[in-house]
Every structure is written in C-alpha cells, then in structure tokens.
Structure 1
Amino acid sequence: MQNTAQQDPRSRLSLTNPVHLLAVGFGSGLLRPAPGTWGSLAATLIGVAILQIMPLKIFLFFTALCFVAGCFICQKTADDMGVHDHGAIVWDEFVGIFMVLAVLPEINIVWCAIGFVIFRLFDILKPYPIRYFDRKLKSGFGIMIDDVLAAIYSIITIYLLLYVLLEVFL
C-alpha cells in the first residue's frame, strides 16, 4: 500500500464533491495527456452551448462569477490534492475560454477554433507577466489569474487578427 506522499494526488479527488467536480472541469481535467487542453475543449463546448441560451451581458456576469468562485474552488481542490495548481485543475481554463468566447466576432467553428488555439498557445507559453504570476502567486487567485491573463492576450491577438483581416479583405 502506498503512503500519502507517494499517492497520486488525483486519488484525493471525489467527483461527488461539487467543488472537485467543478475544479476538474466535470472530469475533463482528468484526461491525459494535456489535461489543460481537454479542459479548454470542454469549456469551449460548454461555453458555446451557454451562449446559445444566455444573452452576452449575462454570460459576462456569469464568467465574472465563475472567476470569483474559481478562486475558492481551485484553492480548496489544490489543498485537498496537496498540490498547488495540479494539471487536473482546469476551472481556470474554463474562465479563460469563456472570456475568449465572449469577444469572438461570431460563434462558429472557425472563430471558436481560432480562439481555442490562441488561448492554448498563451496558456502553454505563458509570456511575461503570465509566467511571473503563475510562479509567484500560490493561492486560488494565483491559479486563476494566469489563465485570465492568457485570455486577455488572446483577446488582443484576436482583435489584431480581425483588424488585419479587415484591412486585407476590405
């Protein structure tokens, strides 16, 4: 029998615990490899579905609530797992993707794919100051903020891309 120090931190999760279930993106963060990518994909599909039934202003408010709740959800789950920002915790990816979806010029397969890829690139590469905050802030807020910053970088990139496309084709 393994002792607690050798035990896989994911074994400390309970998907019947709503906090854990949300933190791991309804189970998407438990998929391998690349749990952040799986979580982002699940978030994209869920976000698109929500945007079909929820007005944008309400979706933005909902996303802000998800961020605030995420600070608690991610911290509690990280504490329960005994690992700060374990890869299985993907609620931060959900909030980041929701931010990106909210500003897409159109909700269609092409723009959703562009938003998804750009967000994943910034989330993986973590350009300054994303990497700085990711390393320095050891809290639920710290888990959340790097993906919010990746979403902001993504949004800026999408608007620059849109500007260039409009200039070239108009």
Structure 2
Amino acid sequence: MTRAIASLLGAGFLRPGPGTWGSIAAVVPGAALLALAGPLTVAAGAVLLTALGWWATTRELARTTDADPQWIVIDEAAGMWVALAGLPAFGWAGVLAACVLFRLFDIAKPGPVGWADRQGGATGVMLDDLLAGALAALVLVALAFVLPTEWFP
C-alpha cells in the first residue's frame, strides 16, 4: 500500500520524467478542488498529502538504498497543491502558471529548495517539493496583484 501511495498509484513509474508525471497527476484533482472549494481546501489537501506522503516515503525508503527514488512522486503532488493554493480562484492560466513555476523551482532548486533536497530521509524527499510549491505560490500571489483578472480571476 505504501508503494501505491508513494508512486501516486503508479504515476511515478511513467517515463520519461516521473516527477513531471507526478505533478501532472496532481493537477487535475488539485484544480478541481480549487474550482469547487477554493484555495484553503487545496491547502488543507496539501497538508493531508504531505502527512500521507511522509508516512509512505519513510516506509519505502527503509526498503531501498536509494536516498530519493525517482518513482516516489507523492512529494510532487503535495508541492503542486501548495503551488495551487497560491491561486485566488480557479482559472486555467493560473493552473498552468502554477504547474510551470512549481516544476521550474523543483528542477532548478534555488536557495532553500536546494538545501531541503540535501537533507536525508523523508525530510529531504518531501521538503524540497513543499518549498518549491511555496515559492511558486508566492510568485502566483504576487502575479495576482499585477496581472489583469482574466489571467488570475
């Protein structure tokens, strides 16, 4: 069961780019929550995904010598939902911007994201994506103040 959770029901085994597949797998349910219930619900979902991911990742890391197996993508889902929680409301332009910004910060690993990635265990696996999502959310909040409402309703 922990393998299914950690891989987002197998999305982590898709190639190439399992992290991108994990992010994509998180976008549709995250965007639906945003559209139906708003950013606070998405943020609460991110907290639940984080707790579940930390639990599953801890158990899966105990079974391998790999410090950060590529197939573990629950961390991408949690980070993506943190990014989506930065949108004031649902809009496809905003969802696309959240996805692009999250992946950019997750891949480039600037500052605190890179530091978190170097931590061991489930902390290193989960925290870098949560921080990448938080940075993306901050950029989205800033963009919502300067872009027309048709971009970020």
Q: TM-score band (shorter)?
A: 0.7 to 0.9
Q: Distance in 2 between matches of 1:58 and 1:45?
A: 14
Partner of 2:10, secondary structure, is helix
Change in 2 beyond 3 A, CA 1:157/1:57 = closer
Alignment partner, residue 22 of structure 2: 39
Partner amino acid, structure 2, of 1:60:
A
Amino acid at match of 1:151: G
Residue 139 of structure 2: aligned partner:
157
Q: Which residue is equivalent to 1:8?
A: none
Runs of 5+ consecutive residues of structure 1 not aligned to the other structure? 1-17
Q: Matches of residues 1-170 of structure 1 in structure 2 within 5 Å?
A: 18-52=1-35, 54=37, 56-135=39-118, 137-166=119-148
Q: 1:117-163 CA distances to partner (integer Å, 9 max, x unpaired)? A: 0000000000012112211x111122111011101110111122222
Distance in 2 (alpha carbons) for counterparts of 1:55 and 1:160? 18
User: Alpha carbon RMSD of aligned pairs, Å?
Assistant: 2.2
Aligned residues: 150
User: What is the alpha-carbon distance in structure 1 between the residues aligned to residue 112 and residue 79 of structure 2?
Assistant: 16
TM-score, length basis structure 1: 0.79
Once the two structures are superposed, what CA deviation does each residue of 1:21-47 show, in whole Å capped at 9, x if it has no partner? 110111111111111011000000121
Identity, in percent, stands at 34
Equivalent AA in structure 2 for residue 123 of structure 1? D
Unaligned runs of 5+ in 2: 149-153
Contact 2:11-2:22 at 8 Å conserved across structures = yes
Kept in 1: contact 2:84–2:137 (CA 8 A): no
Sort the Cα spacing of 1:55 and 1:157 in 2 relative to 1 into closer, same or farther, 3 A. closer
Q: 1:81 to 1:46 in 2, by over 3 A?
A: farther
Partners of 2:134 and 2:39 in 1: how far apart? 17
Contact 1:105 1:111 in 2 (8 A): no
Query: Helix, strand or coil: the match of 1:120?
Result: helix
Larger C-alpha radius of gyration, 1 or 2?
1
